[in-house]
Chain A
Amino acid sequence: AQSVTQPDIHITVSEGASLELRCNYSYGATPYLFWYVQSPGQGLQLLLKYFSGDTLVQGIKGFEAEFKRSQSSFNLRKPSVHWSDAAEYFCAVGAIGGRRALTFGSGTRLQVQP
C-alpha cells in the first residue's frame, strides 16, 4: 500500500525567508504527485502536480517542487515567503493505472512571522 510522510507537522518562517516542505512517499513505482494548500476557512487548492518529464515542476503562487526518484521525495519550495502563504500544506500521491483515490500526508502547518 502506498503511503505519504510529511515529517514536519508545524513550521515557522519569517516573511521573505525561503521555505522547503518535505514529502516522502512509499510506492512500488513512480506515482503521480501533488501538493495542495488549505488556507484558513478555505478548501484545498491544487498548487502543483507531477505526472512525468521534467522533475522540477512549477506551480501557482511562486511555488515549485522537485521529484527525486532516488529519495522517493517531492519537496515543495518557495524562495521568498509572503504572509499570505500561512496555511496548511498537503502532499498527495496517486497510483498510476490504479485506483483514482489520492493518498494524503498528514499535512504541514506553516506559520509566517512578520
Chain B
Amino acid sequence: EAGVTQFPSHSVIEKGQTVTLRCDPISGHDNLYWYRRVMGKEIKFLLHFVKESKQDESGMPNNRFLAERTGGTYSTLKVQPAELEDSGVYFCASSIRTSGRAGSYEQYFGPGTRLTVT
C-alpha cells in the first residue's frame, strides 16, 4: 500500500512568488491534514479536510495560504505571495474515517516539502 506522497520534495522561491504544494493521501483516507514546521520549532497544525470539506482551518496563519482538496482526493496548499517567514517543512498526513473515534486520530505522514523563501 502506497503511503502519503508529497510533491515537490524541495522548493526554493523568491519572496513575493507563488508556490503550490501537493499531497496525495493514502487511498481510502477521508481525513487529510496539513502541518508545518518552521525553523526547527514544533510541528504545528494548519488545517484538516474531511473529504473535500474543510473541517478545521484554525491553524492557517493568514489569507496568503489557500488549501483545496479536489474531489476529496489529493490536496494542494498554495502560498501567494510567499514571505520569508513561510520557510519551513510542510507535512501532509491522512487518516481513516471510522465510526469509532480513535482510528481517525492515527495519522500517517508524508515525507514533507521543504520550502525555502529567499
Q: Which residues of A contact B (CB under 8 A)?
A: 4, 32, 34, 36, 42-46, 49, 51-52, 90, 92, 94, 96-97, 99-107
A51–B106 alpha-carbon span in the complex (Å): 10
How many B residues touch the partner, as a band?
A: 20 to 34
Q: How many A-B residue pairs have CB under 8 A?
A: 65
Residues of B with Cβ closer than 8 Å to A?
3-4, 31, 33, 35, 40-45, 48, 55-56, 58-59, 91, 93, 95, 101-102, 104-112
Asked if residues B109 and A100 are in contact (CB atoms below 8 Å), the reply is no
Some 20 contacts from A to B, beta carbons below 8 A apart, are A4-B42, A34-B106, A43-B4, A43-B109, A44-B91, A44-B93, A44-B112, A45-B109, A46-B107, A96-B101, A99-B58, A100-B56, A100-B105, A100-B107, A101-B48, A102-B35, A102-B105, A104-B42, A104-B43, A106-B42
Set of chain B residues within 8 Å of A100, measured between Cβ atoms: 31, 33, 48, 55-56, 95, 104-105, 107
